[in-house]
A and B are shown apart, each in its own frame.
Chain A
Amino acid sequence: MARRIAIASAMSVAGETAPRAALRGPRWDGRFTVLILFLPPALLLFTLFVVLPIGEAAWYSAFNWNGFGRPTNWIGLDNYRFVLETRAFWLALRNNGLIIAVSLAIQLPLALTLALMLAERFRGAVVLRMLFFMPYILAEIATGLIFSFVYDGDYGLVASIWRSFGAEPPHLLASTDTAMLAVLIVIVWKYFGFHMMLFIAALQSLDKSLVEAARIDGATRTQALRHVVIPLLYPTIRLSVFFAIIGSLQLFDLVMPLTRGGPADSSNTMVSFLYNNGISRMRVGYGSAIGVILFVICLTFAFTYKRWFMRDE
């Protein structure tokens, strides 16, 4: 097939006086081969493993089904009702909200401050950048395990600090009051470096003459920062917020080694809630309903956010 077309196009080149016409014309000049050979693998894989399962989740969510045989026990929207009546679902949703709040209120300003400090060239800047970025590439599972050691009430670092003050060490991950707080600290530890790198990349591609012009016009460093640099970073800030929110909705691996969503569901995220209640018990209908809800939240958020905040990109 490929050879025939290659020959055909070679012949058309040899025979025609205007060879370029062969390229532009709606002829079988090799583009068709590319189209039918190169595109299908990607489309097939994507459809089979990403798109179809979403559709099937919507279908399965109408059944009470344990995954064996065919789904027959149609229960309509009951699974959704069960999900919405579960207290743990609302806790998980609240926790995702908390993660987003911490990302916006603590992680983002921290990342931005560090980026402003480290975008300049000085000895050690590159090393510090790499150091701060490193937690991001570590596996979430490994990070979770490291911090379950840090928080361990008998052997951990926190316990040792408490003991040196003569206090009884707390078991942070075992208490409903502190488990989520402990998880939030790990999230900041792991992800601030990624957001910092986003800002550094943006700062380095920034037009420096604008800042210089402001300085020449008499703006102080702080004024130049507030009225020139930060506004120029708005697109990146919006992007960083977008990643923080999508990331919060996906968070799972980190929670498992730390708390598994416990105690008493106090540190579940949406995905760990889905895992604990749907996947690990093979409640396919119920789990699919959670998945569909999560999917709708993600998509609604993504499209609204794009429309409202990222119109120009």
Chain B
Amino acid sequence: MSRAETTRAPFDPAVLFKTVFLAVVAVFVLVPLLATLLGGFKSLGELRVNPFGWPTHWEWQNYADILFSARYWQLLRNSLIISTLTVTLTLIVASMAAFTFAHVRFFGSSMLLSYLTLGLLFPAATAVLPLFIKVRDLGLLDTYFGVALPQVAFSLAMSVLLLRRFFKDIPYELLEAALVDGCSYIKFFRYVTLPLSRPILATVGTITFVNSWNAYLLPLVMLNTDALYPWPLGIMIYQGEYSSEWHLILAFITLTILPTIILFLLAQKHIVAGLTAGAVKG
């Protein structure tokens, strides 16, 4: 295919159309992102007359001020704590449940599995008011766990499904042999299943992390103290304070989405696999 393209006549309309089309879409995607990055380097006055181009004078101060502020790091720290809690708990709880569903046949197993799958069908927002009251009654309001536990609960459905499918593919003979040798189910889970399942654990972990890192509604409802806010809440407040000082807001946005982009570039395989996983075979 590619060889055919290079030897083709230079004015093939199909190739031309394809190139132009891809270029237009690429510009559509890139321009807002680049304008955000570069806007953070401009002064407010320059932003007004020149929002598209390179900065004539690079204002490193905008970025430096944010990077040296305690506020930025506190937001990232809070987000990191909440996301890490969510990912750790999801992986532990979901892999245990998935192991049971994959290897233990018991009465009501498929019913319980479809019960968990119900979680895929409606958004967390539908019951967020009763959820708020429940978290309040449990005394978890305004704590990291008050955000993390509901997030774990909502990510369970997808995680259990993905993990179970993978666990089922581990040869049954392996389990049988281990059991005959006196290994318990729990030891098998710990020393065989989990080590063999690193790719899927990474995938599930990455999706859960991205979702939790980006979450807005649950922290918004569950947290009241500024000191506990994760970055999506913090950036909304920042925007409220600096309402039209766009150069500072753009720098702040750039710095807060930077971790996501770095993670994406490092773990793109897992992210793409995970986020499109439901599709390949539901």
Binding site for B on A (CB under 8 A): 2, 5-6, 9-10, 13, 19-20, 23, 29-31, 33-35, 37-39, 41-43, 45-46, 48-54, 56-57, 60, 67, 110, 113-114, 117-118, 120-123, 128, 130-142, 145-147, 149-150, 152, 154-157, 159-160, 189, 193-194, 197-198, 201-202, 205, 236, 239-240, 246, 249-250, 252-253, 256-257, 271, 274-275, 278-279, 284, 287-288, 291-292, 294-295, 298-299, 302, 313
Contact = CB atoms under 8 A, between A and B. Distances in A.
Contacts of A57: 126-127, 129-130
Interface string B13-40: 0000010011001101111110110010
Interface in B46-79: 47-48, 50-52
Contact of B26 (A35, A131, A236): A131
A134 B134 contact: no
Given A152-B246, A295-B122, A141 B127 contact: no
Given A39-B100, A140-B214, A160-B51, A256 B121 contact: no
B227 interface: no
B235 A142 contact: yes
Given A60-B129, A132-B29, A117 B18 contact: yes
Contacts of B122: 54, 294-295, 298-299, 302
A194 to B, nearest CB: 7
A174 B176 CA distance: 66
Contact of B275 (A23, A136, A239, A291): A136
Contacts of A9: 179, 182, 184
A33 B186 contact: yes
A30 B185 contact: yes
Contacts of A38: 96-97, 99-100, 189
B35 A150 contact: yes
Nearest to A51: B118
B153 A49 contact: yes
Interface in B107-125: 112, 115-116, 118-119, 121-125
B235 A145 contact: yes
A140 to B, nearest CB: 7
A30 to B, nearest CB: 4
A155 B125 contact: no
Interface in B229-260: 232, 235-236, 239, 244, 246, 249-250, 253, 256-257, 260
Contacts of B280: 201-202, 205
B156 A42 contact: yes
A6 B118 contact: no
Most buried by B among A133, A146, A240, A313: A146
A23 B106 CA distance: 13
Given A141-B235, A202-B279, A253-B217, A147 B182 contact: no
B47 A35 contact: no
B134 A142 contact: no
Q: List the 9 closest A-B pairs by CB distance, nearest first.
A: A53-B127, A49-B153, A42-B97, A139-B214, A250-B123, A56-B130, A38-B96, A53-B130, A141-B232
B228 interface: no
B125 A34 contact: no
B210 to A, nearest CB: 6
Interface of B: 1-2, 5, 18, 21-22, 25-26, 28-33, 35-36, 39, 44, 47-48, 50-52, 92-94, 96-97, 99-100, 103-104, 106, 112, 115-116, 118-119, 121-134, 149-150, 152-154, 156-157, 160, 176, 179-180, 182, 184-187, 189, 210, 213-214, 216-217, 221, 232, 235-236, 239, 244, 246, 249-250, 253, 256-257, 260-261, 264, 268, 271-272, 275-276, 278-280, 282
Contacts of A19: 180
B51 A157 contact: yes
A35 B214 CA distance: 34
Nearest to B129: A287
Contacts of A250: 123, 125
Contacts of A10: 182
Nearest to B216: A253
A25 to B, nearest CB: 12
Contact of A48 (B126, B153, B279): B153
Given A50-B154, A189-B28, A271 B125 contact: yes
Contacts of A240: 279
18 contacts: A20-B176, A29-B179, A31-B104, A34-B99, A35-B106, A49-B152, A54-B126, A128-B22, A134-B261, A141-B232, A145-B235, A149-B246, A197-B275, A257-B239, A271-B123, A284-B129, A294-B123, A298-B126
